Amino acid sequence: MFAPIWEDLYGMIDDGKLISVDYVKIELERRADDWRSGFLTKANGMFHISEGIENEYAKVITEIEKSNNCPKNNHRERFFKGGGPLVDRMR
Let me know: does 21 contact 48? Beta carbons within 8 Å. yes
User: Same domain for 38 and 68?
Assistant: no
User: Same domain for 80 and 62?
Assistant: yes
User: Same domain for 44 and 55?
Assistant: no
User: Same domain for 35 and 58?
Assistant: no
For the beta carbon of residue 62, count every other beta carbon within 10 angstroms.
Answer: 12
Let me know: does 10 contact 38? Beta carbons within 8 Å. no
**Residue 64: domain span:** 51-90
User: Same domain for 57 and 80?
Assistant: yes
**Distance (Å, whole) CA 91 – CA 41:** 32
User: Same domain for 60 and 32?
Assistant: no
User: How many domains, the chain?
Assistant: 2
| pLDDT tens digits, 42-91 | 998 898 878 887 788 788 878 877 777 766 666 666 666 655 544 444 44
For residues 36-40, average pLDDT? 89
